Amino acid sequence: MRLVEGRATVESVDAFVAELGDVGDEYGCAVQAFDARAVVDEAHLRRAVELADRAFERGENVARDRGVEILLYAAGRRQIDQALALGVREGEVPAVVVVHASEESGSERAAAEAVYDLLAPAETLGEYDEQRVRSFYDVTDAERAATDASLSELVRERVALLTVEK
């Protein structure tokens, strides 16, 4: 798995997603973009990729597309339309893009370079919007008060719970 960070200028979400899909098709990788303001850290996305891979290996995947399966796990949602709220929107958005080949291959590196060309360079990972994250993952004040777990740990728990909820 490789992560590409930057600022995306998205005039059309469909067109941007199609460009990423073309990169994925060319290099044999899943390519999935996220609004970086809703991604807590690299571990969040790494866990989503691991669980999506496991779902495909076991034939338990919800989506036919590996990138969409990664999105579902990262969002902790089984419904694609709900998980899409974690994706990029029109306008200029801080983005983090997962580039992942299901097997070890050199294609990840080349695909990541192609994705990098679609973004303006910027560090975006770790610059999440706490209120947006808490709202999206339904992390309440009571839950935060009841545990010493970090927000990142609570989000990764939501990601892992998707497996249990299937």
Domain extents in the chain? 2-165
Distance CA 159, CA 78 (A): 11
Checking if the pLDDT of 164 tops 60, the result is no
Q: How far apart are the first and last CA of the chain?
A: 24
- Output the six-digit token pair for 143: 């839950």
Interval 43-93: pLDDT, tens: 999 999 999 999 999 999 999 999 999 999 999 998 888 999 999 999 999
Scan for tokens 């303001």, then name that residue: 37
Contact assessment for residue 160 and residue 49, using Cβ atoms and an 8 Å cutoff: no
Distance CA 131, CA 21 (A): 30
Q: Which of 149, 127, 152 is nearest to 47 (CA)?
A: 152
Checking if the pLDDT of 165 tops 60, the result is no
| pTM for the whole structure | 0.91
Instruction: Determine the residue type at 38.
Output: A
As a whole-number percent, the residues of the chain with pLDDT over 70 amount to: 96
User: For position 126, what pLDDT does the model report?
Assistant: 86
Interval 1-42: pLDDT, tens: 999 999 999 999 999 999 999 999 999 999 999 999 999 999
Instruction: Determine the residue type at 80.
Output: I
For residue 7, what are the β-bridge partners? Answer: 94, 120
Q: Which of 118, 107, 129, 83 is nearest to 30 (CA)?
A: 107
Class of CATH domain 2-165? alpha beta
